[in-house]
Chains A and B, each alone.
Chain A
Amino acid sequence: MRQFLVSLKKTPMILVVVLVFVIYGFSALGAPAEVNEFAIVTSIGLDRLEDESEGKYEVSLLVFTPVAELNFVENYKVVSAKADSLSDAMYHAGLYIGREVGLSHVKVVVLNERFGQGDLAEELDFLIRNIDMATSTKIVMSNVEAKEVLKVIQKSDSESSIKVSELLNYNNKFIFTEDSSLETFFSGCLGPTKTALLSFIKLENGKREENQGASEQNSGKSESDNNVDIKNDGETVVFFDGKQKFKLSGEQMKTINFLSGTYQEGDISVENITKDDFVDATLIFDIVGKRTDYRVVYENGIPVILINIDLKLLLTEIQNKDGLVGKDVERMVFEDEILDKISSKVKEYVFEAVSIMRENEVDILDFYTFLNNLSPIKFKKFLKTNEGFFLNNVIFKVGTRISIE
């Protein structure tokens, strides 16, 4: 014992460690569990209200309340509160649950269309300043009130909020040229092009068949045959400087993606193809490989963007008016005429994408950064000598190389 005390005297740090353990260890053991203090929010619905008498905003939270139960059913509920600011509304929503609102598990933020009328970047200030919110949280706009969307998510089944985020992840991979998250939205708004994209989902009434699966039975869907479905057709809202500029349809988004170098997936259909085996058929090709190269040359001080698209296609469907074509796709030979038609289609897509950007004066694909980083002096000179939206004066030339597997 005496030796122990001597060693303690020699190494006073042990005393400090013991002291820290005694003070903080016991207080930590005595503190209530965090799951009992926090309500875990998995989705947030933000509605900008038409009637501002009760407040400017309504915040709805899809909350998962952790309660120990035997049957392992997750309890989700939607709570909402109105106030003049998002932080105030969030605070009031917390009061209704009787727990502190925990935002670190939020995967989706749904907005109603009225947010497009104002400056969205300014209105979402609360979310980006909240240190608990992951900046990768998906953000999406809806054709109905966000609260309704949250109710649909809650009703469909307890895992649906995850499904909605999966839906948006799918958008990110296959529809968007960019992710639709808080990070990318603000990065777009504050970048040189001031352009940001948001995914747009719709709620549509649909009649469901019975016995659709265990998850639906578990969530008690039998109460009504008329169900509301979430529809995602690639529609996208384009924001400029934080404000909604216009909406892109799924088809228009496809053309934008064609121009984008990062987008690698999709399909392409060519109409009125006549061959030995079919007449006026529509051929649908799957894109199995796509490489897009950009080169820039300056002609008389004007940038000329040479786009070379290298496409590898696979014939996946033949829509023939005269019935089934009884020939193996592998044995088909595609003449130059067909390849030319595909090439024209690709060029059509590209020029449609350029005209969308020119008409609306938004640089969705960030050509500004591309041109600026390539030759900053020439580009700055071009901007000085050419007034108006810069893409109107940029020349695009497209070359294609098509191969069918």
Chain B
Amino acid sequence: MTKDKTITAGQAGAMCFFMILANKILVLPSLLVEKTRAEAMFVPIVLFLIEFLMIFFFFKLKKKYPNFSFSEIVRKSCGRWAVILTNVLFVAFFLSKAVLLYNLKSIFLKSVVYHEENALVYFVCFVPVVTHMALAGLRVMGRTMQVFLPTIFVLVIFVVVVGFTGITNIPAFFESSVSQFLTTTFGHVAAFGDSVFLFLIMDKIEVKKGEFKKIFLPTLFAAIFVCLINIVFVLAYCYTPFMHPFAFFELISFVREYGGMGRLDLIPMVGIIVFSYFQLAMYMKFFMISLQNLFEKMGDTLSAVVFVFFFLLLVNFVVLTSSQTIFYGEMILPYFMLFPFVIVPIFSIIGLCFRKKILGADG
């Protein structure tokens, strides 16, 4: 097992920003609007509240046990079986999320740019770069994301502002029922819960006094951006979401009719590609870390090969088409979310309750 270098709070914040933002702005808004119309704008807000509750537990654990890993805390408070369970769930979680992300992004690229290319082309384009990033280590990934963060920040603001100018009418609110709203919220919970990675690498994040805000502020901004993109999409395309399946891209693509302005839709497209590379690399890295927690002697290369093998298998045989991907995301993955939203908080509460046991055993 290779020892990863530690990352700063700022780098962890940058990783959080990309993790939170990337997989919620492309297909999710359209799916939400299709089910709950104008009320779709409240779904991410509800789900972010749950996500921030999970981040609150991370904050508490990190403050109490600054040098401990989550596995250590779980082992000392609940025993070895709990560590195995947690890491197995981490492995399954990151692999399943990576598959969903890859499929959605390849469907987007196929629909919008490369109509005639097959899935193998995207695989060739994505996997080597992503593997390289994951093998380079946490610190390299964190630094790269820190460099890209301001540009992406400006890009997202630009898209949101241009999107606002495209709103002509306000849709009718309160048309969907409470049960519809709750069913949709649960059905799309799979897009959330990514910040659970903070637990996995909590011993590798160096947080000095007063630096917690460096993690939370980018996370908060990412959540605000997701909500804003969703709101703009709802206001612009409330009754025709089926005509606009790719929200972040569609918000700006309407400008192409005002001849002479050029292809401004290239701007969100570049953003989407950068997001995809970063997030897929993070999923791979966290899969590798959790696999190495299970098999301590496993090296980086072998764990990367295991990821690519299972990834290729799932991508090609389980969720290849758009409808399969949506079914997988709405029907199967929500149950995986019990892990970040229920199991991890339960272990965190147990860990917080057995302070003496954890610190005493360490001492």
Contact = CB atoms under 8 A, between A and B. Distances in A.
> Do A and B make up one complex?
yes
Interface of A: 12-13, 16, 20, 128, 131, 134-137, 178-179, 182-183, 186-188, 190-192, 366, 368-369, 372-373, 376
B173 A186 contact: no
Contact of B132 (A13, A190, A372): A13
Contacts of B239: 186-188, 190-191
A369 B172 contact: yes
Nearest to B171: A369
A16 B131 CA distance: 12
A134 B257 contact: yes
Given A182-B243, A191-B238, 20 more contacts: A12-B132, A20-B125, A128-B240, A128-B243, A131-B111, A134-B254, A134-B257, A135-B243, A135-B244, A136-B254, A178-B169, A186-B243, A187-B169, A187-B240, A188-B239, A190-B240, A192-B175, A368-B172, A369-B170, A373-B172
Contacts, number: 62
A176 B317 CA distance: 51
B169 A366 contact: yes
Nearest to A128: B243
B172 A186 contact: no
Interface residues of B, number: 25
B174 interface: yes
Contacts of A12: 132
Interface string B220-239: 00000000000000000111
A135, A179, A366: most-surrounded residue (chain B CB, <10 A): A135
A137 B237 CA distance: 15
A160 B175 CA distance: 44
Nearest to A372: B172
Interface string B119-131: 0000011001100
Given A131-B111, A376-B173, A16 B243 contact: no
B256 interface: yes
A16 B132 CA distance: 10
Interface string B172-208: 1111000000000000000000000000000000000
The list of the 4 closest CB pairs from A to B, nearest first, reads A136-B257, A190-B239, A369-B172, A16-B128
Contacts of B266: none
A369 B169 CA distance: 10
Nearest to B127: A16
16 contacts: A12-B132, A13-B129, A16-B128, A20-B125, A128-B242, A131-B112, A134-B257, A136-B257, A137-B257, A186-B239, A191-B172, A191-B238, A191-B239, A372-B172, A372-B175, A373-B173
Contact of B243 (A178, A183, A369): A183
